[in-house]
Every structure is written in C-alpha cells, then in structure tokens.
Structure 1
Amino acid sequence: MGTVMEIRMLGPLEVLAGGRGVAFGGVRQQQIMAMLLAHSDRWVGVSRLVDCLWPDDPPATADRQVRNCAASLRRTLVEAGLAPADLAVGSGGYLLRTVGCEVDRQRFESLVAAARRDRDAGDLPAAAAGFRAADRLWRGPALAGLAEGALAAEALRLEEWRLQAVEDRVAVELDLGLHRVLVPELLSLADAHPGRDRLQCALMVALCRAGSAAGALHAFDRVRSRLSVELGVPPGSALQRARRAILAGVPFGLDDLLPSALAAYAR
C-alpha cells in the first residue's frame, strides 16, 4: 500500500507524503496535477490538458509535451509513495484516484456539510465550530499562482464555496449573539465583496445590534456608492429593506431581509 498523501488545493498547490513536501518539476507539472485534482476520479483527456497549459496557441508538439510532463509527474508521485494504480494512464488521458489521499477540498466539503446539518438540527454552537474548522483549511486563494486559463473556473468555484460557507457561518453566529465579535470581520468581508448581499446585510445587522445604527447606514451608503461606480447597479432589495428598517427604528435580522430562496440557497 502506498503512503497516504496530503493534497492541498485551498491555497497554493501542495502535495505532502509522510509530512514532507513533494517537489514538482516545474509549473506545467503543477498545472497538470491541479487539473487532475479538479476532475479527480474522472478521466482527463490530453486535449484538455493541452488547453490548460497553452490556452491560446499550443505548439505542434503540445500532445507529446503533455505526455512527457504527465509521465514525469507520475514518476514523482510514485517515488513519493503514491500507488501506481492511483494515477492511471489511458490511451486518451489520465485519471487520478484520491480515495486513499487526504484532500483538503474534500475535507472542507465534509466539514461544511456537517456544519449545515448541525445548523438545520438547531445545534448552532456545533455548526459555528464546524464552519470555523472548514475555514481554517484555507491557506490563501484557491490554487494560488495557477488560477489561470482552464484552472480559473475551478479556483472561482472553490472560492464561491468558501464564501457561501462563510456567509452561512456568519448567519449562525449572528443567531448566537456574536454581533460585536463579527463586526471587524464583516467590515473586511463587505469591503472585499461589495456585490454579495448576504455579507452586506449581515454587516448592517451586526452594526445595528451592536448599537450603531449610524454605522449601518454608513455601510449602506458606502456599498451603494461602490455598486454604482464599479457595477453600475443600485443596492439590492434586501439592502433597501435594511435601510428602511433602520430609518423606521424597526429591529431586523437576516431572515427579515433576504428572500427565502437566497437565505436558504446553501442548505
């Protein structure tokens, strides 16, 4: 049996065997590894790998270069302890089996799913802890340094999952009364993601519950300006409802602001 490998995608690509990093033979090996991971346990054709390595103008020798690079990658992984059968080679491409590996993406998905089950069962402290544990797996932007061309979509998909999990965790922690603790984090998140209504609404809820209705109105004005300048759109209906509630002095929470489909989209 081969060595259990740790594979990390939630940040720069890393592969560890026995706790030691596996040295790739260049960026192209990393790109191929990332593509195989993005489609783990499925065949990835040589033509798809060519598109990943040369999105615009592949050389005439692209197929041969991909096969040579993949063969070198396979030798590297097998020498590090991967079972040879776990990186299968076929006439048209390659298949990476991760069933015997510890993949941070899979661990993240498992923790988030468990946290959502805890939330739905009413165990909010366990849900918050689960979401926090999932977020700690992230070491930076997904596939940092490789998120170009064909890998950009995978990196964006992983980042979207992360943000959805963060939004779910924030909602749980607001229900736990942690609004004061959340304000600094939400200020940063809202600034980084002006187009995400859940985060903007969560910030306004947290500020109001912390006794700063003026701060919540300022947050609304700030995001309204950014949406106008950067995206050419007005604030969404949820943000408008939050502003009206503040001006009317009516207490509100996330469930009062967001359409049911949006509030529950990650369930």
Structure 2
Amino acid sequence: MPPSPPAVAALDPLDPRQRDVLYAIGCGLTDAEIAASLAIPERAVAGHLGRILATLRLRDRAAAIVHAFDCGLVTPGHGPRRRTADTPSRTRARRAADRTPGAGLRISLLGPPQAWQDGRPVDLGPARQQAVLAALALRPDRAVGTHELLDRIWGMEPPVGNVVPVYIYRLRKILRTGPGDGTAAVIEREQAGYRLNRGAVEVDVARAEELAATATTAERAGDLAEAVRVCSQALDLFYGEPLAGLPGRFAELERLRLTEHRITLAQRKAGWQLTLGRTAEATAELSALATAHPLNEQIVALLMRALHQGGRQAEALAVFDRTRHRLGEELGVLPGELLRRTRQTMLSRDRRS
C-alpha cells in the first residue's frame, strides 16, 4: 500500500534506501531480518537507522516505529512486503483460523475493559492505554485528535513526552482483525486524528445500543414479549461497572452515561413485564435494582407498582416509607411527585376494592 500524500511529505528527507529501512523497522523486523530482506550487510542497517533518527529528529528505534505508523508508511495489520514464503504448516494454520467459528475482534467496555481475538483474551496494557482505546471505541463516527485524547484522559496533568502515539502503536500491535498479521487496520490515522475501524471490531456498547433500538421497534409494533426478550439481551452485556478502573474525565462521564442507560433499560423492561402480567419477574428484578439505587424514585415507584399489582400492598407502602425516610436523612428532601402520586393511586384503588 503506497503512503498517503501527507506521508510522502513526512518522508521527503529520506532517500529510497532509508525509506525501505524505516518501513522494515516499522514492521517490527530485527536488523538481521532487515539485512536479509534488503540484501545489505547487517552493520549497514545500523548506519541507516542512525541517519534516519538524525534526519527525522527521532529519539530511538521505538520513536522510528511510531513515526512509520503515524506518517502512513506502515499500515497496521499488514506485515513487510518482503516476506519469506509460508511453510505448509503455517498456511494450514492460517486457513484453519479463517474457518474458526466466532473469529474476530471483540472489545467490551460495559465492565472492566476487555478484548478477545478469535475467542482468546487480549492484554490491553496499562489503564491509560485502555482509556485511549475506550475513547476511540466510544466515538466511532469521528476521528479523535491527540490533544483531545490528552484532555480526556490526563486533563490538567499532561504526561511527559508524546505518549499518545506510543499507546496507539501498542494497541495496533496487540489488536488484530484477521489471522496471522491481520487483514484490516483496527485504528486508522486520519488528518484529524485517530479513528477505530467500526467494520473491523465488535464493541459491546454499540451492540447494546442496537438491541435497545430493536426493543423500541418491537414496542411500537405492539410486541412487548419481543421487546422484553431483546432488552434482556442488552442488559446481559453489562458485566460490572462500565469502564471500571479507567482514569480521566471522559471515562467518568461515560461511566455515568452508560450506568444511566443500563438503569433506563431495566426500567423499560420492568414496565413491559408488568403490562404483560409477568409481575413476579418484574418484582424480583426491580427489588435488586432498588437495592442498588435506593434513591432513584422512578425505580422505587415501579417497584411499588409491581408489589401492589402482585397483591403485596403492605410491602409497597413500606417501600414508600423507607424511601421517604432515606431521602430525608441523606438528601434532606421529601419524596417527589411521582412517588407521592404512585402511593395515592394505590390507596385510592384499595379503598375502592
């Protein structure tokens, strides 16, 4: 793949041989492998590298690797153009990987960040490297610039050195989208910054949003049973506190947003269950939800409604009293209109019955 126009400009100071050496370095080859690939003495490779570093004002070999990626000379997921022929055993292994069910790259953020390649876990590295990946995965429709990543993850305490390109390089190395060296770039470089290739990766946050939209469609079609089923699938994707352990203002805001999304999904599901008469299921799930979020008045109101619908009026009133006491003790406020109206509706129905 030829370098893009910005890459050509970045490589102008280098002669053709130096470009070849930089390409091979970016592909991760050792000096001996570069020498064999280019048919030059191994000591000449070291000389070329020294001149590359001086010409481009790079600190070391690692910086040269990062530069090769960032200027577009090396495309993530594609190895050296000069490669030895595959052995029959390696070819068979690659073909077997192509047929493996469920092959692909999956990233999960609805809990502590995790990734799997073809069903095998991938080590995503330190917390801030994971935070860089999360920032890209949660903004898949646009490129995110280096300064924006620094602000989102480090805030008012920027790191020493140019660490974002290093983290991007490491993520490109460990995240693969195909057998062997991979078949597609997981993280793409654009003029505005970096972008996660949505077509090459499955992200659980995006999947949960798709399922939530499908549940809404089922509700509008009057198929509440299907809405409950699909909503359950979306809720099953949550496996802990979203983005747990990630630093930075962006992660904190997204953690709150995703937690609220989870609560909203659970409330909608419970409401549909009550409409379908599946009172016991709704009561059990709402009880657990209210335990986790005791001051959420919408959840409490739904739990009161479920208990009352199940003939447990005294327990529903006890939930109201307990919540009223807790709101006063912890927040210094009275129950809101929703809770008061729910309680009054229950009492009115009891008097009429």
TM-score bracket, shorter-length normalisation:
0.7 to 0.9
Give the distance between the partners of 1:208 and 1:163, measured in 2 at CA.
Answer: 21
**Structure 1 residues 167-207: Cα deviation after superposition (integer angstroms, max 9, x where no partner):** 11000000111212322321221232234332111111111
Identity %: 37
| Alignment match, 1:77 | 175
Q: 1:125 aligns with which of 191, 212, 225?
A: 225
Give the distance between the partners of 1:196 and 1:147, measured in 2 at CA.
Answer: 26
Indicate the structure whose relative CO is greater, using CA pairs within 8 Å and at least 6 residues apart.
1
Residue 123 of structure 1, CA deviation: 1.0
Give the distance between the partners of 1:246 and 1:224, measured in 2 at CA.
Answer: 16
Q: Which amino acid aligns with 1:191?
A: T
Going from structure 1 to structure 2, the CA distance change for 1:41 and 1:167 (only over 3 Å counts) comes to same
CA RMSD after TM alignment = 2.3
TM-score using structure 1 length: 0.85
Q: 1:105 aligns with which of 180, 183, 205?
A: 205
Tell me if structure 1 keeps the 8 A contact 2:204–2:237.
yes
Give the distance between the partners of 2:110 and 2:247, measured in 1 at CA.
Answer: 12
Considering only CA atoms, is the larger Rg found in Structure 1 or Structure 2?
Answer: 2
Give the distance between the partners of 1:147 and 1:243, measured in 2 at CA.
Answer: 42
Give the distance between the partners of 1:165 and 1:79, measured in 2 at CA.
Answer: 31
- Structure 1 runs of 4+ aligned residues shifted over 3 Å read 78-86, 249-252
| Alignment match, 2:323 | 223
SS at 2:233 equivalent: helix
SS at 2:123 equivalent: coil
Give the distance between the partners of 2:303 and 2:247, measured in 1 at CA.
Answer: 30
Residue 246 of structure 1, CA deviation: 2.5
Give the distance between the partners of 2:153 and 2:207, measured in 1 at CA.
Answer: 28
Going from structure 1 to structure 2, the CA distance change for 1:85 and 1:108 (only over 3 Å counts) comes to same
Q: Which amino acid aligns with 2:127?
A: V
Give the distance between the partners of 1:107 and 1:197, measured in 2 at CA.
Answer: 28
| Alignment match, 2:305 | 205
Q: Where do 5+ consecutive residues of structure 1 fail to align?
A: 253-267
| Alignment match, 2:163 | 65
TM-score using structure 2 length: 0.65
Q: Which amino acid aligns with 1:67?
A: P
Q: Which amino acid aligns with 1:33?
A: L
Going from structure 1 to structure 2, the CA distance change for 1:189 and 1:79 (only over 3 Å counts) comes to closer
Q: How does 1:1-267 map to 2 (within 5 A)?
A: 4-61=104-161, 64-78=162-176, 83-90=183-190, 93-146=193-246, 148-250=248-350
Going from structure 1 to structure 2, the CA distance change for 1:169 and 1:251 (only over 3 Å counts) comes to farther
